[in-house]
Amino acid sequence: GRRAARAGAARTVADLAPAEKAAVLGLAPAAPRDLNKLMALGVLPGAPLTLLQRSPSLVVQVGETVLALDEKIARTILVGPSLEG
């Protein structure tokens, strides 16, 4: 229904399932140091992102870069449907 689609609009990396592909939509407000680090690592709007594993830590691939994220940081990365189809 419509409500599910709206709820899905504000998903974060922490909401993804393993192997799920998504696209970075943006970054939620967080500590500037954390945001600058993510952007320097290529976590930018439009970047393709795949969740590789959820535990013991969240591991994502963004473009050609593989990153381990703690849950707090994962919740600052907003994602939407993969642009790769």
Dump pLDDT digits (tens) for 26-46. 999 889 999 999 999 999 999
Which pLDDT score, from 0 to 100, does residue 69 have?
96
pLDDT category of residue 10 using cuts at 50, 70 and 90: confident
Kindly report the average pLDDT of the chain as a whole number.
Answer: 89
> What is the C-alpha to C-alpha distance for residues 10 and 29, in angstroms, rounded to an integer?
13
User: Is 2-81 CATH 1.10.3720.10?
Assistant: no
pLDDT category of residue 83 using cuts at 50, 70 and 90: confident
- Phi and psi at residue 30, to the nearest 5°: -155, -175
CA atoms within 13 A on the CB side of 58: 21
Q: Which of 13, 25, 26, 22 is nearest to 73 (CA)?
A: 13
What pTM value is reported for the model? Answer: 0.84
pLDDT category of residue 9 using cuts at 50, 70 and 90: low
